[in-house]
Amino acid sequence: MSKDSIAFIGLGAMGLPMARNLVKGGFAVTGFDLDANALDSLEQAGGKRAASARAAAEGAGLVIAMLPTAAHIRAALEGEGGALAALTDASLFINMSTILPQETDAIAALLAERGLRMLDSPVGRSAMEAERGTLLILASGSGPDKARAQEALLCMGNQIIDCGEVGGGSRVKVVNNFMGISLNALTAEALTLAEACGLSVELALQVMRGTIAGLGHMNITYPNKVLRGDLSAGFQVDLAHKDLGLALELASRSRACVPMGSAAYQSYTAARAQGLGAQDYSAIYPLMRSLAGLPKALPYTVDTPVNADPFGKAAAR
Ligand code: NAD
């Protein structure tokens, strides 16, 4: 089967290396960006430049967008010189930008009304992995569309996760970033607190890399407790509330600002108010599900603990 020709719209920190990797993979790539320097760089790498998104998409099999926001995608599709006019039922539009899932749904509907197809395929990891062609690709769309795009996607990434129908990729990307970005802020607070209360950051790192703080609840606490339906106290909500209170007091006395920790304290206070004080502290999860109006039964359970005693007998928390 012959390779699809590719239009690549948005040649920024991510898009340019991704387009370069498509060229390296033997695809004919025509790019468009508002920045002429980005087009120069694509040409130097063996791609072609176009004068508009529409010109790039004319006759292309795959039309890829890697743009900052949904508004930029709308402009590149529906604005003057937009690619929408060049899309046909023989082409496949692939959005790889990170946007609000409802915007993904709306763009997919806009295309579907015209008999056009779309793959929703945002990416995980960063510009360094975009350079190396080792992005994590979160592909969602119809089976035939995913199969058609696979060879091109594997030029840009080394792992494709099937995220179901269009909209699945955008949803999992935003949820993943919610956690990664929030944990970044919490990590900064913890290291700042360590330094502000007189510890060496090196010591704090050494300790926290070996406990749940650094190893992560998704890997340890959740599969061993709440996701097994076990809320018997390994570490009680009451004690977690007490310990987080100690940290907030220490932060106050050390003049460290800890907004993420303060917000988490309110969740443990709410859990105690709901009568969950004697349960395992992972009971915060069913509490949040109940506040979101989700059904009582867990949507996913694991039968076997991942590692029943991850820290050995002298468990540190
Ligand atoms: P960027 O700002 O570096 O690049 C965006 C490019 O789009 C720019 O070159 C800009 O000139 C171009 N552009 C804007 N409007 C345009 C239009 N109408 N037509 C053509 N080109 C246009 O952004 P980036 O870091 O490459 O991010 C792109 C997307 O990827 C974002 O949605 C971002 O959230 C997502 N993402 C970024 C990273 C990262 O580490 N940078 C990682 C994963 C996902």
Please tell me the distance from the alpha carbon of residue 142 to that of residue 164, in angstroms, as a whole number: 8
Residue 75: CB within 6 Å of ligand 1? yes
Q: Is 296 a catalytic residue?
A: no
Handedness of CA 267, 272, 278, 279 (dihedral sign): negative
Closest by CA to 58, choosing from 35, 80, 85, 76, is: 85
Residue 63 in 3-state DSSP? strand
**Amino acid at site 88:** T
Ligand 1 pocket mutation, candidates 14, 16, 125, criterion most atoms within 8 A of CB: 14
Residue 121: CB within 6 Å of ligand 1? no
Please tell me the distance from the alpha carbon of residue 230 to that of residue 8, in angstroms, as a whole number: 49
Query: pTM of whole model > 0.75?
Result: yes
Please tell me the distance from the alpha carbon of residue 103 to that of residue 297, in angstroms, as a whole number: 30
Distance 14 CA to ligand 1 centre (A): 6
Residue 23: CB within 6 Å of ligand 1? no
For ligand 1, what atom is nearest to the CA of residue 76? Answer: 18
Please tell me the distance from the alpha carbon of residue 251 to that of residue 96, in angstroms, as a whole number: 41
Residue 77 in 3-state DSSP? helix
317 residues of the chain, pLDDT tens digit each: 689 999 999 999 999 999 999 999 999 999 999 999 999 999 999 999 999 999 999 999 999 999 999 999 999 999 999 999 999 999 999 999 999 999 999 999 999 999 999 999 999 999 999 999 999 999 999 999 999 999 999 999 999 999 999 999 999 999 999 999 999 999 999 999 999 999 999 999 999 999 999 999 999 999 999 999 999 999 999 999 999 999 999 999 999 999 999 999 999 999 999 999 999 999 999 999 999 999 998 888 887 666 555 555 434 44
Cα angle 312, 315, 317 (rounded to 5 degrees) comes to 140
Residue 35: CB within 6 Å of ligand 1? yes
Ligand 1 pocket mutation, candidates 20, 32, 34, 77, criterion most atoms within 8 A of CB: 34
Pull the structure tokens for residue 184: 């970044």
Q: Which residue has the tokens 């010591």?
A: 203
Residue 233 in 3-state DSSP? coil
Pull the structure tokens for residue 255: 């003049």
Instruction: Given the residues 173, 225, 242, 313, select the one marked as catalytic.
Output: 173
Phi-psi region of 81 (alpha: psi -120 to 50; beta: other; left: phi over 0): left
Distance 42 CA to ligand 1 centre (A): 15
